């Protein structure tokens, strides 16, 4: 026998929620769709949708959100049942702050065909399209930023431009429909952690448009903006336990709960086409150049997360907060960021980088944010360029040491190698290059030099000039050897007490 199910969150429940739960402070019935968002996952619900909710509360305008999911999970029914409402929990160690967000007007599922997505994106009332489609959603070559024309979805979309599957294909088709209907200008705003995300998004969409002979490329040049943006808030995938927490604490059921930390940041390049939601009035910053903010965030916060995820899995830690609570891993990450990453950063208006490092480490230590190392380790091939390899290239150009930054690069390799059959399938992985690395591991076996040589030859990830750099190869080889050893943490301890390149320089 199961207990009676608690009432589901929905408009009818809004007036009866416990008083500590903040609810939308505007007339939701008057809300009109103005923004479309692709990829309504935990991060979007915790970030852009909250900023938009703030904006609607402070200055009601035409900026309701229509969510589009083109990949699993299906969400239209779950959120539809709740009238678009969901609970956003901020959790900071013991503190819990609950708020119901109302900015999402509706969600459409477009996993089986692009039609529902295209209908929304081409509709005249949409003037802003934001997206969180993960790094690999852009179908670009990570090392160059160019459209990956060999990507199966892009091959498909080039042959079937009217029925696209990829994000670039869907956007190009939507713009074509808008051109045909003489639609309004549109801003396409990437909110993913890829370098110069607006530039890459512009590249991949324009590359497809340039292959059409109907003037689409010219129409895009005159009517579409692709600003870059830096987004930040740690918001892991929602778990059953999060849903249960809401039910236990507040007495209602919400199948679309999201949990995030208190910190949030959104820096957007001031380059728009048409009208813009004034997110700058509610905490976002509009700037001329996002680059310094982006480097700071991806190299420090994301770089630390990625490092802790690989070293964390290798050291048997389940979540980030557990990995960073380990004195050895915390020492390693702090030293890596301070000694090697910080000197690669450009001045960031209003932010002290050393203070940002400390603040990031405190954020990662938040015990109420249960961010699984395996979640962060996912798709590492799409993340290491901006988080680790770009700062490494900057340092190599100046002849600076890369002993510490090479360790998480080898960590990514070790993570995939240890998941291969030849190495005993230590865990399950998800990365577009997992299969390639499994083949390499099977062929090469336990020979770190051979493994590094073969993996660095993957030029979609490693720029050929970087792959050919002797210092880089030597550092990564030593690190991989240590991380594949019986006790990888002994190796990390060793690196902390004696940087790898000190050993490289020592006479044999």
Instruction: Report the length, in residues, of the chain.
Output: 508
Q: CA-CA distances (angstroms) from residue 434 to 144, 200, 266, 414, 421?
A: 20, 24, 32, 11, 12
Q: CB under 6 A: which stretch of 195-203, 226-234, 251-259, 412-420 binds ligand CS2?
A: 226-234
**CB of 387: closest distance to ligand CS2 in angstroms?**
8
Given candidates 87, 166, 302, 341, which one binds ligand CS2 under the rule CB under 6 A? 302
Q: CB under 6 A: which stretch of 198-206, 228-236, 440-448, 483-491 binds ligand CS2?
A: 228-236
Q: CB under 6 A: which stretch of 157-165, 227-235, 392-400, 465-473 binds ligand CS2?
A: 227-235
Query: Helices (H) and strands (E) in the chain — how many of each?
Result: 24, 12
Report the alpha-carbon distance of residue 485 to residue 491 in Å, rounded.
Answer: 8
Residues 149-208, interacting with ligand CS2 (CB under 6 A):
193
Query: How many Cβ atoms are within 10 Å of 2's Cβ, its own excluded?
Result: 4
209 vs 314 by CB, closer to ligand CS2? 314
66 three-class SS: strand
234 binds ligand CS2 per the rule CB under 6 A: yes
Q: CB under 6 A: which stretch of 80-88, 165-173, 231-239, 485-493 binds ligand CS2?
A: 231-239
Q: CB under 6 A: which stretch of 67-75, 89-97, 230-238, 310-318 binds ligand CS2?
A: 230-238
**Count of residues near ligand CS2 by CB under 6 A:** 9
Report the alpha-carbon distance of residue 144 to residue 140 in Å, rounded.
Answer: 8
Residue 106, strand partner residues: 66
**CB of 115: closest distance to ligand CS2 in angstroms?**
30
Backbone angles phi, psi at 305, to 5 degrees: -60, -45
Tokens found for residue 91: 């959790």
Given candidates 296, 314, 376, 495, which one binds ligand CS2 under the rule CB under 6 A? 376
Tokens found for residue 500: 């790898």
Residue entry with tokens 């480097």: 295
305 binds ligand CS2 per the rule CB under 6 A: yes
157 vs 379 by CB, closer to ligand CS2? 379
387 vs 395 by CB, closer to ligand CS2? 387
44 binds ligand CS2 per the rule CB under 6 A: no
Query: How many Cβ atoms are within 10 Å of 342's Cβ, its own excluded?
Result: 17
294 binds ligand CS2 per the rule CB under 6 A: no
Residues 300 and 265 sit within 8 Å (Cβ to Cβ): no
157 vs 232 by CB, closer to ligand CS2? 232
Side-chain-facing half-sphere of 386: CA atoms under 13 Å? 28
82 vs 302 by CB, closer to ligand CS2? 302
61 vs 318 by CB, closer to ligand CS2? 318
**CB of 43: closest distance to ligand CS2 in angstroms?**
6
Residues 139 and 70 sit within 8 Å (Cβ to Cβ): no
Q: CA-CA distances (angstroms) from residue 410 to 129, 310, 319, 341?
A: 37, 9, 20, 17
DSSP code at position 253: B
Q: CB under 6 A: which stretch of 4-12, 19-27, 232-240, 434-442 binds ligand CS2?
A: 232-240
Report the alpha-carbon distance of residue 110 to residue 121 in Å, rounded.
Answer: 12
217 vs 287 by CB, closer to ligand CS2? 287
Indicate the pairing of strand 33-38 with strand 64-69. parallel
Three-state SS letters, 194-233:
CCCHHHHHHHHHHHHHCCCCCCHHHHHHHHEECCCEEEEC
Given candidates 125, 338, 375, 485, which one binds ligand CS2 under the rule CB under 6 A? 375
> How far from chain centre, in Å, is Cα 377?
12
Q: Where are the alpha helices (DSSP H) in 94-166?
A: 115-121, 152-159
**CB of 73: closest distance to ligand CS2 in angstroms?**
17
Given candidates 28, 91, 136, 233, which one binds ligand CS2 under the rule CB under 6 A? 233
148 binds ligand CS2 per the rule CB under 6 A: no
Which chain residues interact with ligand CS2 by CB under 6 A? 193, 232-234, 302, 305, 375-376, 383
């Amino acid at each position: 026998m199961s207990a009676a199910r608690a009432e589901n969150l929905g408009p009818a429940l809004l007036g009866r929620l416990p008083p500590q739960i903040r609810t939308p402070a505007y007339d939701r019935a008057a809300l009109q769709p103005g923004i479309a968002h692709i990829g309504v996952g935990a991060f979007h619900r915790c970030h852009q949708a909250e900023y938009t909710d703030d904006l609607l509360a402070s200055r009601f305008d035409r900026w309701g959100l229509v969510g589009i999911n083109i990949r699993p999970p299906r969400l239209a029914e779950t959120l539809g049942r709740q009238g678009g409402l969901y609970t956003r929990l901020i959790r900071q160690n013991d503190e819990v702050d609950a708020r119901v967000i109302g900015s999402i007007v509706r969600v459409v599922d477009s996993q089986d065909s692009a039609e529902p997505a295209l209908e929304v994106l081409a509709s005249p009332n949409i003037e802003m399209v934001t997206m969180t489609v993960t790094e690999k959603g852009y179908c670009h070559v990570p090392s160059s930023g160019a459209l990956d024309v060999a990507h199966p979805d892009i091959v498909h979309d080039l042959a079937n431009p009217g029925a696209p599957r990829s994000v670039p294909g869907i956007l190009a088709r939507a713009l074509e429909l808008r051109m045909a209907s003489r639609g309004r200008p549109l801003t396409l705003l990437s909110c993913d952690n890829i370098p110069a995300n607006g530039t890459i998004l512009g590249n991949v969409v324009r590359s497809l448009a340039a292959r059409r002979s109907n003037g689409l490329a010219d129409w895009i040049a005159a009517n579409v903006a692709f600003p870059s943006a830096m987004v930040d808030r740690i918001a892991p995938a929602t778990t059953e336990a999060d849903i249960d927490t809401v039910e236990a604490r507040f007495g209602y059921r919400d199948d679309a709960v999201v949990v995030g930390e208190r910190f949030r940041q959104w820096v957007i390049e001031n380059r728009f086409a048409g009208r813009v939601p004034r997110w700058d009035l509610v905490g976002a910053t509009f700037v001329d150049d996002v680059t310094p903010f982006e480097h700071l965030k991806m190299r420090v916060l994301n770089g630390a997360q990625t490092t802790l995820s690989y070293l964390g899995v290798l050291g048997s830690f389940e979540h980030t907060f557990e990995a960073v609570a380990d004195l050895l891993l915390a020492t390693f990450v702090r030293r890596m960021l301070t000694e090697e990453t910080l000197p690669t950063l450009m001045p960031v208006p209003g932010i002290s980088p050393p203070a940002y490092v400390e603040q990031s480490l405190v954020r990662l230590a938040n015990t109420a944010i249960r961010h699984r190392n395996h979640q962060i380790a996912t798709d590492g091939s799409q993340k290491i360029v901006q988080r680790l390899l770009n700062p490494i290239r900057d340092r190599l150009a100046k002849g600076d040491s890369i002993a510490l930054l090479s360790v998480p690069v080898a960590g990514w390799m070790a993570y995939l190698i240890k998941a291969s059959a030849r190495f005993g399938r230590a865990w399950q992985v998800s990365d577009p290059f997992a299969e390639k690395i499994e083949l390499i591991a099977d062929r090469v076996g336990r020979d770190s030099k051979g493994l590094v040589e073969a993996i660095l030859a993957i030029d979609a990830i490693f720029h050929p000039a970087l792959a050919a750099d002797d210092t880089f190869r030597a550092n990564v080889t030593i690190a991989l050897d240590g991380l594949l050893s019986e006790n990888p943490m002994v190796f990390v301890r060793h690196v902390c007490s004696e940087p790898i390149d000190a050993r490289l320089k020592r006479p044999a």
